[in-house]
Amino acid sequence: AQKVTQAQTEISVVEKEDVTLDCVYETRDTTYYLFWYKQPPSGELVFLIRRNSFDEQNEISGRYSWNFQKSTSSFNFTITASQVVDSAVYFCALKNPRSGNEKLTFGTGTRLTIIP
Amino acid sequence: KAGVTQTPRYLIKTRGQQVTLSCSPISGHRSVSWYQQTPGQGLQFLFEYFSETQRNKGNFPGRFSGRQFSNSRSEMNVSTLELGDSALYLCASSVSLIGGGGTVQNIQYFGAGTRLSVL
């Protein structure tokens, strides 16, 4: 069975502070993909990043960075110098590509509020 | 390129009625998946369609059904609505290319959802 845990339900930080969103996953598969999505108030899930299980390199995209550690089954997401536009609910998700289908298993999400 | 389009955006129904939601995927995408999002259960997978065939199904009662047309557009239907069916229903599409070893290596792109309220 697959499971994604986002222990932080809600986080509030003051603008320009750095913030890290935690994601811990469980899977028996050796091949899998991890994702982060952002859900603004409009409701649409916006794709942020995909990482496969064989690539543990950290990734940086502007103010966003991701730290993937297989040893701790974690895929954490850091926003540097946060901005009010970063306020949203963020979801971590897991997919088993060998299942032959597209099913994503989501965490419960972390609501991030950036205080101006 | 247009994104995933879901219609309608909002729906209000009463218990016992049925409802049909529509999803138009990104052009060229052949896979369409549906998810239900509620405050209590979070995001849950309903089903996925690929080339007009249901490829996977989540743990939902038979009142939830779907289909996919030859142009990849998909509909989902909920019959005999219950109060607990009130939710945001999200549709996602992907190219669904098969990579090495039969793995499905794709990114799913989501629509803005249909918010269903059952009174």
Question: Which of A43, A103, A106 is nearest residue B113 as measured by Cβ atoms?
Answer: A43
Cβ of residue B99 closer than 8 Å to a chain A Cβ: yes
pLDDT along chain B (119 residues), means of 10: 91 97 94 95 94 92 96 96 97 76 73 96
State the Cα–Cα distance between residues A84 and A107, nearest whole angstrom. Answer: 23
DSSP of B7-74: E-SEEEE-TT--EEEEEEPPTT--EEEEEEEETTTEEEEEEEEETTEEEEE-S--TTEEEEE-TTS-E
Does the pLDDT value for residue A115 go beyond 90? yes
State the Cα–Cα distance between residues B102 and A91, nearest whole angstrom. Answer: 27
State the Cα–Cα distance between residues B116 and A82, nearest whole angstrom. Answer: 33
Query: Which residue in chain A has the smallest CA separation from B105?
Result: A97
Residue contact A98–B103, C-beta within 8 A: yes
Does the pLDDT value for residue A85 go beyond 60? yes
Residue contact A50–B90, C-beta within 8 A: no
- pLDDT at A97 (0 to 100): 74
pLDDT digits 0-9 by tens, A9-68: 999 999 999 999 999 999 998 889 999 999 999 899 999 998 888 888 888 889 999 999
Structure tokens at A111: 């609501």
Question: Which of A31, A50, A109 is nearest residue B107 as measured by Cβ atoms?
Answer: A50
Q: Which letter does DSSP use for residue B61 in this model?
A: -
State the Cα–Cα distance between residues A58 and A78, nearest whole angstrom. Answer: 11
State the Cα–Cα distance between residues B118 and A73, nearest whole angstrom. Answer: 39
- pLDDT at A109 (0 to 100): 97
Q: Which letter does DSSP use for residue B104 in this model?
A: B
- pLDDT at B104 (0 to 100): 55
Give CA A61 to chain center in angstroms.
14
Does the pLDDT value for residue A6 go beyond 70? yes
Strand partners, A83: none
Does the pLDDT value for residue A78 go beyond 60? yes
Cβ of residue B102 closer than 8 Å to a chain A Cβ: yes
* Residues belonging to chain A: 116
Instruction: Name, in order, each residue with C-beta under 8 angstroms of A36's C-beta and a sequence gap of 6 or more.
Output: A23, A48, A49, A66, A75, A77, A90, A91, A92, A93
